[in-house]
Structure 1
Amino acid sequence: MRISTLGTTLFVAGSLLVSAGCAKHDDPGPATAAKPRTITAVAGCAKGWTDPADLAPDRAPARCDKGAPAPRPLARKRKLVLATGTLAAEYVAPLEVGVQKGEFKKEGLDVQLKVLPTPDALPLLAKGDIDAQWAAPEAAVMNGINGGFDIKWVAGNFSPDPASKSGLWARLKDGETPASVSMKGRKMGTMIGKGSVVTYAMEKALEQHGGGLNSISFQQLGSADVLTALQNGGVDSAWLLDPVWRKVDGDAKYAFLGGQPLGEPLGGVLFGPNLLTKDPDAGVAFLRAYIRTVDTYFVGDYKADKGFTASLAKLLKTDESVLTATPSLRMDWEIRKGTTDRLQKAYREAGVSNGAVLPEDKVVNRSLYAEAVGHTP
């Protein structure tokens, strides 16, 4: 089954908060101020940057030409370890394809993808025991940065296709229509914890239907049990992930109320001190390979290429029919302005945020992917 990034690590939210609470114990100390870096234009990347303030749902993601940005091999080869919660999810595919196709090797990087639960990976990233993490700026990350972790969100991952209905579904009551559904007082089945980025998406959907995070009750369930509970009446609403929502799509008893905001990635690459300050050249090289992989293999409806889809299904160890049951993701390495502000607001309303509100520049670093595509901010 293909799993959305919003669902992969959410069931460990409680453990994440525990890990973040230990931040000061593992504090690596303040990072040395980075020297200004020279940015030069990159061939094929004239459209490799969009205004971060553009929040239009139909915004076209930045794209370089196929094969761009071209490799710039490091003078010294580097081995990098990146932690990810899963290797079976479609949103991880650009990393796996990049490794398989040798895009990272072209940069002089030996990238190893290591499956680690987020609560285990986060302190390792902050201490420099691993180099990067494929995750999201969840509450635990914010709490960890507040506690001294030297971690930044340096690149996005994806936003959903407009045709996707991964998100909040409700079972209609007598007399209700999809437009008149009220979520106040409902019980929601979910494998998602309140400390995840999906809290923001969930809050937006609830607000449009007379509810809020504090006006509903949550029943946390295993991934295989959420749909069953919705269908048998154990809960009257649920957060359904890809491709589970296809089981109720078109059934007049259920209504889709909203999912992840269009055009706004909520996760991606996190760097720790190794690639932020100790070896930013390797950090830029990693992002250059990642961006080139997206530009070469994940443009538009990449699932329309049956040969590529077959190889992708094999790489993700999933059935091709499962992979093609949902629309192609909109792979997007950029980070929108204000996303971390909106996330923190949702965390506070959910009661899972500790410490001061972090300004964006304490959480986000766009300069490395800007350098990779030759953009001067």
Structure 2
Amino acid sequence: MRIHTTVRTTALPLLLAGTLLAAGCTKEDDAAPPAPDKPRTVTSVSGCAKGSWTDPADLAPDRAPARCAPRTPAPRPLSKERSLTIATGTLSAEYVAPLQMALEKGEFKKEGLNVDLKVLPTPDALPLLAKGDIDAQWAAPEAAVMNGITSGFDIKWTAGNFSPGPHSKSGLWVRLKKDETAAHVPMAGRTLGTMIGKGSVIAYPMNRALKKHGGGLDEIKFQQLGSADVLTALQNGGTDAAWLLDPVWRKVDGDKKYAFLGGQPRGEPLGGLLFGPNLLKKDPDAGVALLRAYIRTVNTYFAADYKADKAFARELAELLKTDEDVLLSTPSLRMDWEIRAGTTDRLQDAYRAAGVSEGVRVPESKAVDRALYEEAVGHK
């Protein structure tokens, strides 16, 4: 069953404070010492041998994402059915397709999981995840997430989602001035229109693209715009540059008045599944089962250029409730469950440059847990 929920967004600092206050009601003297984590047994998985794991330090843009054989890793049903809730900001975006397809094809059910997808904005879902009111979040380690971890939230990034295909131009576009070329566009002092705030993971590739052209997040002026206004503002001169998502960038691609300056790094997912205490500590078996179903869905339906299969593309468009021609107008995403080394460090550097994060970096060991997806594919 899928749950579509619309809620009022609450200020994150207030939610963080309330959650931490509730957590602090137990007297320190009365609290039992935490039990040591039991070592988990990892065994080899049929169909997930060579190619099912890549070195996290490999940041090559043409790196082949990890893959198992189709329909693997095979289901290993839990002894007792679990009901899990996964929060997601949307059910219609293409990057949510593996979760939607896993529901549609019964992949979660095969693991003994009854999964609900609940639409919640990140600021609302984050405290619920930390408290155990929801089990996982399909989101990204945004500034709010990292700040929450600093504040004591037991949340970790446990699986990646995607990186752009080699022909994607989703990202930073600029309207060229007279005599400017795409090779070098002085960006310092210009305005940038975006529907995505400075605390989003997009701050990292945005900052990287700006620095290549003499700018940076601290040297441009942000204009927060609605999704329907970003392209219009770029075209009518209301903003100098804009971060254009799929499939909006198609509207300016090929027009010599505009230049594409860069997008999300290829081969480096910037989001995916976040787990809270329920799946990290209380029931990691269910966490591995969830990841196994997700990984199996990627291997079976999204292993390569999934839009080349027109019948599948039609099915996917219906599932996402989007127009098939719109879906086919952009390249397939490179679905990727792995997390690259150092991504959370690079994200935090960008948040600091944007002025939405201060203090010491959250170390990767506190923000990322690769052990559960490694167990799901049998990597020791």
1:341-356 equivalences in 2 (<5 Å) = 341-356=345-360
1:270–1:30 CA distance, 2 compared to 1 (3 A) = farther
Cα separation, 2, equivalents of 1:82 and 1:254 = 39
Counterpart residue number, 2:20: 24
Q: Any idea what SS the aligned residue of 1:25 has? A: helix
- Choose which of 350, 370, 378 in structure 2 pairs with 1:374: 378
- Alignment size in residue pairs: 365
1:95-174 equivalences in 2 (<5 Å) = 95-174=99-178
Cα separation, 2, equivalents of 1:370 and 1:81 = 22
- Choose which of 216, 219, 226 in structure 1 pairs with 2:223: 219
Report the Cα offset of residue 24 of structure 1. Answer: 2.4
1:169-188 C-alpha deviation (Å, 9 max, x unpaired): 00010000100211111101
Does residue 38 of the first structure (1) align with residue 41 of the second (2)?
yes
Counterpart residue number, 1:80: 84
Cα separation, 2, equivalents of 1:49 and 1:24 = 37
Report the Cα offset of residue 105 of structure 1. Answer: 0.5
- Choose which of 277, 290, 302 in structure 2 pairs with 1:298: 302
1:267–1:288 CA distance, 2 compared to 1 (3 A) = same
1:85-137 C-alpha deviation (Å, 9 max, x unpaired): 00000000000100110001000000111111111111000000000000000
Check conservation: 1:83, 1:115, Cα contact below 8 A.
Answer: yes
1:285-328 C-alpha deviation (Å, 9 max, x unpaired): 00000000000000111001111100100000000011001000
Cα separation, 2, equivalents of 1:339 and 1:21 = 27
Counterpart residue number, 1:261: 265
Q: Any idea what SS the aligned residue of 2:378 has? A: coil
1:30–1:253 CA distance, 2 compared to 1 (3 A) = farther
1:2-52 C-alpha deviation (Å, 9 max, x unpaired): xxxxxxxxxx99944554455522548996432110000001101210000
Structure 2 gap ranges (5+): 1-7, 25-31
Counterpart residue number, 2:182: 178
Structure 1 gap ranges (5+): 1-11
Q: CA RMSD in A?
A: 1.7
Report the Cα offset of residue 265 of structure 1. Answer: 0.2
Q: Any idea what SS the aligned residue of 1:343 has? A: helix
Report the Cα offset of residue 334 of structure 1. Answer: 0.1
1:120–1:251 CA distance, 2 compared to 1 (3 A) = same
Q: Any idea what SS the aligned residue of 2:279 has? A: helix
Cα separation, 2, equivalents of 1:86 and 1:201 = 22
Cα separation, 1, equivalents of 2:292 and 2:223 = 42
Deviates more, 1:247-256 or 1:178-187: 178-187
1:31–1:223 CA distance, 2 compared to 1 (3 A) = farther
Cα separation, 2, equivalents of 1:34 and 1:256 = 48
Check conservation: 2:48, 2:73, Cα contact below 8 A.
Answer: yes
TM (normalized to structure 2)? 0.93
Q: Any idea what SS the aligned residue of 1:79 has? A: strand
Does residue 67 of the first structure (1) align with residue 71 of the second (2)?
yes
Check conservation: 2:187, 2:210, Cα contact below 8 A.
Answer: yes
Give identity over the alignment, percent.
Answer: 73
Q: Any idea what SS the aligned residue of 1:133 has? A: strand
1:75–1:169 CA distance, 2 compared to 1 (3 A) = same
1:13–1:330 CA distance, 2 compared to 1 (3 A) = farther
Report the Cα offset of residue 284 of structure 1. Answer: 0.2
Cα separation, 2, equivalents of 1:217 and 1:299 = 40
* Structure 1 segments of 4+ aligned residues over 3 angstroms from their partners: 12-23, 26-33
Check conservation: 1:13, 1:195, Cα contact below 8 A.
Answer: no
1:244-291 C-alpha deviation (Å, 9 max, x unpaired): 000000000000000001100000000000000000000000000000
1:360–1:30 CA distance, 2 compared to 1 (3 A) = farther
Q: Any idea what SS the aligned residue of 2:144 has? A: helix
Counterpart residue number, 1:198: 202
Q: Any idea what SS the aligned residue of 1:188 has? A: strand
1:249–1:31 CA distance, 2 compared to 1 (3 A) = farther
Cα separation, 1, equivalents of 2:124 and 2:351 = 21
Q: Any idea what SS the aligned residue of 1:296 has? A: helix
Cα separation, 1, equivalents of 2:10 and 2:257 = 33
